Amino acid sequence: MTVRVAVTGATGRMGEEVLAAASDRDDIDVAFAVSRSAGDEIEGVLVEDAADLPDLLAAHDPDVLVDFTGPASCVEYAAACAESGVAFVSGTTGLSDGGFDALRDAADEVPVLYASNFSRGIAALRRAVREAVPALDGYDIELTETHHNAKRDAPSGTALTLLEDIDDVRGDSPRVHGREGEAPRTEDEIGVHARRAGDIAGEHEVLLAGNHESLSLTHRAGSRGVFAAGALDAAAWLSGRDAGWYDFTEVLE
């Protein structure tokens, strides 16, 4: 069955990737696309004004909306979907606690699936981290993430998710963001480092070191298309489900 998808942020890096990925799939049909910068045509889809989203949702009645925008826009679009009865998939990062609360409010009305990363490789990395950390009890942990020079939020949403995974299995640990000057390491801290350079799609490394050995768990995304494909997989899976909060791991399982 073909799933009709609306795409927000269509002229952004990820929006363009989602439209490109959708054009190659038989199970996805783009109902419409919007952006704050309307008027362009991408992959044969006219990009309309995001300010008209509520009217477009009513007129086109898509099954799912896929969102990669900014925190404020994400919350706005989730509310519009809740009002229109349209399922909502988002990979927007940088959300505050209030932003997540707003998405969970939308999940009372429609199915909502949020993920900081839609890569299958990252899902495997998360599983590996959750197994390695308790197996190497007491080892020092450092997390490094690298992204393109236009990424605004730091650390990345994926890095924050990995830190939550570590805390879940080891207990909450203080986080030290970078080091400068005299900065000796405390026993249970987690060092967090964010790098921004070039057009790197995304790299994440979790380093565990102790007992005269080290273990490095690393994921590198060669293209943003990886994330777009995962988001469309999530959209196809979410379509037709009951209202509620869903996770990308459920799609993979």
Q: Would you name the residues annotated as active-site residues?
A: 147, 151
Number of Cβ within a 10 Å radius of residue 182 = 5
Of 162, 158, 152, nearest in space to 13 by CA: 152
Can you give the C-alpha Rg of the chain in angstroms? 19
- Residue whose pair of structure tokens reads 């009305």 in the numeric block: 109
**Those residues with Cβ within 8 angstroms of residue 190's Cβ, 6 or more apart along the chain or in another chain:** 141, 142, 143, 163, 166, 173, 174, 175, 176
148: phi then psi, degrees, rounded to nearest 5? -60, 160
Both tokens assigned to 39: 């008027």
Residues 17, 119: contact at Cβ < 8 Å? no
Of 66, 4, 54, nearest in space to 29 by CA: 4
